[in-house]
């Protein structure tokens, strides 16, 4: 009997240790993926083709369906839908190989032309906030395919980890939230512009609207506006943080975001 009791205690301890990966703070475990390819230009030391990718990718989760939903959304948005069935360990390599193949086809088409085609892509993707209810994720990509300059953009996602579905503004905000958010955005932008030596007239205010490109952290909800979203390229990117205190009155009660921002008693 004593042996059985010890075995049961040991079994319970093992189960607790095995499950703690997904119950302590986050619903997923992430794997660091990294791959690159650099090809030099003919007869020069410069690179004509350069890809450097670093991705923290969710590979394990307590809920298999939720994990698959998050993976599908991230892969589709980052690499297109045709890669959704590629194993995580082969994902970056497959994407780089396809881009290089396409690059070679373009090079063949313009062979003999004085124009030399350059392709450069850098990607970094990481989780920003994790809990047993929410996941926020961010990816920054720099892309150059010729011309005066490249373009760096940032995409953000917020997920309900119980389902793996991406959250939209309609999921977390009360009805008719848009006008209130625009007013908040304008106030935040005016302060941000002043810090950067800019004025509101330097921005396209008619385009300063909720754009779905947001992430959620313990500090609040931040919105990402990339070059050309609300201003010319020279102005650069703009990130506006709607603090949790300001956001709380606009949130639907009972949601995971509302609970995150509500002061603990």
Each residue of 214-243: pLDDT tens digit? 999 999 999 999 999 999 999 999 999 999
- Domain locations in the chain? 23-166, 167-265
230: number of Cβ within 10 Å: 22
Cβ atoms of residues 106 and 187 within 8 Å = no
Query: Left, alpha or beta for 109 (phi > 0: left; psi -120 to 50: alpha)?
Result: alpha
42: number of Cβ within 10 Å: 8
pLDDT value for 1: 47
What value does the CA radius of gyration of the chain take, rounded to a whole number of Å? 23
Q: Which fold has domain 23-166?
A: Heat Shock Protein 90 (3.30.565)
Would you place residue 147 in the very low, low, confident or very high pLDDT band (cuts 50, 70, 90)? confident
The model's pTM is: 0.87
Task: Tell me the three state secondary structure of residue 150.
Answer: coil
Average pLDDT over residues 138-155: 94
Cα(139)–Cα(219) distance, rounded to whole angstroms?
19
Question: Worst-scoring range by mean pLDDT, 52-66, 72-86, 94-108, 216-230?
Answer: 94-108
What is the CATH superfamily name and number for domain 167-265? Heat-shock cognate protein, ATPase (3.90.640.20)
Indicate if the pLDDT at residue 118 is higher than 90.
Answer: no
Residues in the chain, how many? 265
Cα(154)–Cα(156) distance, rounded to whole angstroms?
7
| Residues in a beta bridge with 214 | 223
């Amino acid at each position: 009997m004593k042996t059985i009791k010890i075995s049961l205690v040991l079994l319970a301890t093992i189960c607790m240790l095995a499950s703690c990966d997904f119950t302590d703070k986050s619903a997923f475990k992430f794997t660091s993926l990294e791959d690159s390819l650099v090809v030099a230009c003919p007869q020069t030391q410069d690179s004509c083709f350069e890809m450097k990718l670093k991705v923290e990718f969710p590979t394990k989760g307590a809920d298999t369906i939720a994990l698959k939903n998050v993976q599908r959304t991230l892969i589709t948005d980052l690499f297109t839908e045709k890669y959704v069935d590629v194993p995580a360990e082969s994902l970056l390599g497959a994407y780089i190989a396809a881009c290089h193949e396409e690059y070679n086809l373009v090079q063949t088409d313009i062979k003999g032309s004085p124009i030399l085609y350059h392709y450069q892509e850098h990607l970094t993707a990481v989780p920003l906030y994790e809990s047993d209810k929410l996941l926020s994720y961010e990816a920054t990509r720099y892309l150059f395919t010729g011309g005066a300059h490249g373009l760096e953009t940032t995409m953000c996602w917020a997920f309900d980890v119980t389902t793996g579905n991406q959250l939209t503004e309609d999921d977390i905000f009360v009805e008719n939230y848009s006008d209130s958010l625009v007013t908040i955005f304008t106030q935040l932008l005016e302060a941000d512009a002043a810090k950067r030596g800019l004025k509101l007239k330097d921005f396209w205010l008619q385009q300063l609207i909720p754009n779905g490109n947001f992430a959620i952290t313990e500090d609040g909800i931040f919105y990402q506006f990339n070059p050309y979203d609300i201003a010319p390229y020279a102005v650069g990117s703009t990130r506006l943080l709607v603090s949790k205190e300001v956001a709380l009155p606009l949130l639907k009660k009972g949601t995971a975001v509302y609970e995150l921002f509500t002061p603990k008693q």
